[in-house]
Amino acid sequence: MTDRQLKKLKRSELIELLYYARKEIDRLSQENEQLKSRLDKLVGEALHETSDAGGTES
């Protein structure tokens, strides 16, 4: 949306845009946290497997 189009919007339309933008930000933040948690878990498992494999070799 261009600046010109934004300037033509009513206050209620701008508030609606902000509302939906905030909902999308919240959804993406939650998804980001879930992905970070999943990544941390997978990295931890990989490190654990690496340390187990390294400890059994002579």
pLDDT per residue as tens digits for the range 2-48: 999 989 999 999 999 999 999 999 999 999 999 999 999 999 999 99
Comparing 45 with 54, the larger pLDDT belongs to 45
Residue 54 has pLDDT above 90, yes or no: no
pLDDT range class, residue 51, cuts 50, 70, 90: confident
Could you please report the per-residue DSSP string of 1-58?
A: --HHHHHHS-HHHHHHHHHHHHHHHHHHHHHHHHHHHHHHHHHHHHHHHHHHHHHS--
pLDDT value at position 50? 85
Per-residue pLDDT at 58: 47
